[in-house]
C-alpha cells in the first residue's frame, strides 16, 4: 500500500514537472515570436520547419547581441547618410542594379557606424540587427540579394522600399527597439520616402 502511494506521488510529481517545462517552453516560443515577428517565421522556414532548431538559433542571437547598445553617429554623419540615400533613390531611375548595390553598401556602413558587426560578415551583421530591428531587417536581406543580380527591376524596387525602413531606424537619433514599430522616423520628415519610382525602359527587366 505504501509502495503504491509512493509510486502515485512520484508519477504526479513527474507530470507536474513535465507540465511546467512544457508551459515554459511554449511561453518562450511565444516570447520569441513577439520579439522577432517576421524574422521568427523566416528562421523557422530556413530550418525547414524545425521550430526547435529555429528557436535555439534565435535564443543564441539574443544571448550574443541582446545587450548591445547602439553607438551614436559622429557629428554630421546622419545628414550625410540621409543625403546619400536620397542620391541612391534618384540613381535607381537610370541604374537600378547599381542603386541596389550602393544601398546594400550604404546600410552595411551605417550598421557598422552604429556599432553592429562589420558588413563584410553579412550573416553575423544581420543576426545582430535582427535582435534589435527584427521588423525591418528583411528588406536589407532583399537588397543584399538584389545587389548580386538576383531579381528583376520590380523586385529591386520593392527591396529598396523595404530596406528604407531599416535605414530610417538606424539613422534615427535613437535606436528603435525590435518590439516597437516606429512609423515616424526622424529621417522621414519633410518628404515621402516610400515613393520610389518604377522604371520604364528597355532592358530593365520587369517594371
Based on the domain organization, do 83 and 182 belong to the same domain? yes
Provide the domain count of the chain: 2
Based on the domain organization, do 103 and 166 belong to the same domain? yes
Based on the domain organization, do 93 and 171 belong to the same domain? yes
How many angstroms from the chain centroid is the CA of residue 66?
14
Based on the domain organization, do 49 and 86 belong to the same domain? no
Q: Long-range contact list for 72-78, CB < 8 A, 24+ apart? A: 73/113, 73/114, 73/171, 74/113, 77/113, 78/171, 78/173, 78/187
> Which of 65, 99, 117 is the last residue before a domain boundary?
65
pTM over 0.75: no
Based on the domain organization, do 96 and 177 belong to the same domain? yes
Based on the domain organization, do 183 and 81 belong to the same domain? yes
Answer whether residue 206 is part of any domain: no
pLDDT, mean of residues 115-134: 90
Based on the domain organization, do 92 and 146 belong to the same domain? yes
Based on the domain organization, do 182 and 88 belong to the same domain? yes
Residue 120 has a pLDDT of 74
Q: Containing domain of residue 43, as a range?
A: 2-65
Determine contact, residues 106/77, Cβ cutoff 8 Å.
no
pLDDT, mean of residues 65-87: 94
How does pLDDT run across 3-15, given as a tens digit for each residue? 766 776 666 766 6
Alpha-carbon distance 97 to 115, whole Å? 28
Answer whether residue 193 is part of any domain: no
Answer whether residue 202 is part of any domain: no
Based on the domain organization, do 54 and 93 belong to the same domain? no
Based on the domain organization, do 115 and 138 belong to the same domain? yes
Cα three-residue angle 136-145-51, rounded to 5 degrees? 60
Q: What is the mean pLDDT of the chain?
A: 81
Based on the domain organization, do 99 and 169 belong to the same domain? yes
Does an H or E element contain 141, and which?
Answer: helix 137-146
- Higher pLDDT residue, 206 or 121? 121
How does pLDDT run across 139-164, given as a tens digit for each residue? 999 999 999 988 899 999 999 999 99
Answer whether residue 204 is part of any domain: no
Based on the domain organization, do 83 and 181 belong to the same domain? yes
Residue 61 has a pLDDT of 95
Nearest to 55 by CA among 70, 40, 69, 34: 40
Amino acid at each position: 500500500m505504501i509502495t503504491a502511494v509512493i509510486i502515485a506521488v512520484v508519477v504526479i510529481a513527474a507530470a507536474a514537472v513535465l507540465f511546467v517545462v512544457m508551459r515554459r517552453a511554449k511561453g518562450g516560443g511565444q516570447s520569441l515570436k513577439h520579439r522577432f515577428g517576421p524574422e521568427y517565421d523566416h528562421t523557422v522556414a530556413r530550418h525547414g520547419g524545425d521550430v526547435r532548431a529555429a528557436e535555439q538559433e534565435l535564443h543564441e542571437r539574443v544571448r550574443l547581441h541582446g545587450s548591445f547598445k547602439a553607438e551614436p553617429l559622429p557629428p554630421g554623419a546622419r545628414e550625410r547618410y540621409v543625403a546619400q540615400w536620397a542620391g541612391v533613390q534618384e540613381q535607381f531611375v537610370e541604374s537600378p542594379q547599381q542603386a541596389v548595390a550602393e544601398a546594400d553598401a550604404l546600410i552595411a556602413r551605417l550598421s557598422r557606424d552604429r556599432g553592429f558587426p562589420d558588413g563584410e560578415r553579412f550573416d553575423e551583421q544581420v543576426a545582430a540587427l535582427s535582435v534589435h530591428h527584427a521588423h525591418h531587417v528583411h528588406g536589407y536581406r532583399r537588397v543584399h540579394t538584389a545587389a548580386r543580380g538576383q531579381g528583376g527591376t520590380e523586385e529591386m524596387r520593392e527591396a529598396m522600399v523595404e530596406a528604407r525602413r531599416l535605414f530610417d531606424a538606424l539613422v534615427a537619433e535613437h535606436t528603435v527597439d525590435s518590439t516597437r514599430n516606429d512609423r515616424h522616423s526622424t529621417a522621414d520628415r519633410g518628404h515621402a520616402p516610400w515613393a520610389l519610382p518604377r522604371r520604364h525602359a528597355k532592358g530593365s527587366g520587369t517594371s
